[in-house]
Amino acid sequence: MEVIQSIVQNVNVVRLAGDLDGNTAPGVQAQIMTLTSPNVKMILDMSGVSFMSSAGLRMLLVMYRTIMSQSGKVVLVGLSEDIRDTMLMTGFLDFFTYLETLDDGLKTFSL
C-alpha cells in the first residue's frame, strides 16, 4: 500500500495505491493523521485503490470525522465504480463529497 502526499494549490493531496484492508488500513490511517491539522484542505485520490474492505471503509470514516472535528474539509476523487457502489450501499458514501477527478476536486477548493 502506497501513500503519496503532495501539496497542490494549497490543498493536501494524498494518493493511495493498492488494497485498503484490515492489514493496511491502520498504517494508512496513521500516515494521514500526521497530515491533518485544523482547517486542513485534503483530497484523497483513490484512483489507485483496487480493493477496499470493511476496515478500509471504517478508516475513511474515522479520518472524515477527525478532519471535520478540526473544521477541515476532505474530498474523495477517483473512486472506481466497484468501490463507489460498495460505499453507496453500505452508507459510507453519504458522508463524503466525492468527485470524478483530481481537477474536479481542486476546483471545489478554489471556489
Partner 1 sequence: MERVDAYPTHEYQGYKLRPGKPFPFGATFVPGGVNFAIYSSHATSCTLVLFDKGEGLPKVEIPFPDEFQIGDVYSMIVFGLDYENIEYGYRMEGPFDPQRGDRFDASKILLDPYAKAISGRDVWGQKPNWENVYPHRALLVFDDFDWAEDRPLEIPMEDLVIYEMHVRSFTRHPSSGVKFPGTFAGIRQKMPYLKELGVNCIELMPIYEFDEYENSRINPDSGELLMNYWGYSTVGFFAPKSGLAATGKLGMQVDELKALVKELHRNGIEVFLDVVFNHTAEGNENGPYISFKGIDNKTYYMLTPEGYYFNFSGTGNTLNCNNPVVRNIVLDCLRYWASEYHIDGFRFDLASILGRDQFGYPLSNPPLLESLAFDPILAKCKLIAEAWDAGGLYQVGSFPAYGRWAEWNGKFRDGLRRFLKGEPGLTGDIAQRIQGSPDLYASRGPTASINFITCHDGFTLYDLVSYNDKHNEANGEGNRDGANDNNSWNCGCEGSTTDVDINALRMRQMKNAAAMLLVSQGVPMILMGDEIARTQNGNNNTYCQDNSLNWLDWNLMNTQGELLRFYQKSIKFRLAHPVFRNRWHLSNQDRVGSGFADISWHGTKVWQPDWSGSSRLLAFMLDGKHARGGMVSDDDIYVAMNMHWESHWFELPRLPGDKRWHVFANTGVPSPADVWENGQEPVLANQDGILLGDRSVVILVGK
Question: Which one of 17, 19, 58, 72 is in contact with partner 1 (CB under 8 A)?
Answer: 58
Task: Give residues 84-103 in contact with partner 1 (rule: CB under 8 A).
Answer: 85-86, 88-92, 94-95
Question: Is residue 19 a contact point for partner 1 (CB under 8 A)?
Answer: no
> Contact letters (x/-) for partner 1, 67-86, by CB under 8 A?
------------------xx
Question: Is residue 66 a contact point for partner 1 (CB under 8 A)?
Answer: no
Q: Three cell numbers at 23? A: 492489514
CA distance 81 to 5: 24
Own/partner pairs, 25-33, CB within 8 angstroms, 24+ separation = 25/53, 25/55, 25/56, 25/58, 25/59, 26/59, 27/1, 28/1, 28/3, 28/59, 29/59, 29/62, 29/63, 31/3, 32/3, 32/63, 33/63, 33/66
Instruction: Tell me the closest approach of the beta carbon of residue 90 to partner 1, in angstroms.
Output: 4
Q: Which is nearer to partner 1, 40 or 55 (CB)?
A: 55
Binding positions for partner 1, rule: CB under 8 A: 21-23, 53-55, 57-58, 61, 85-86, 88-92, 94-95
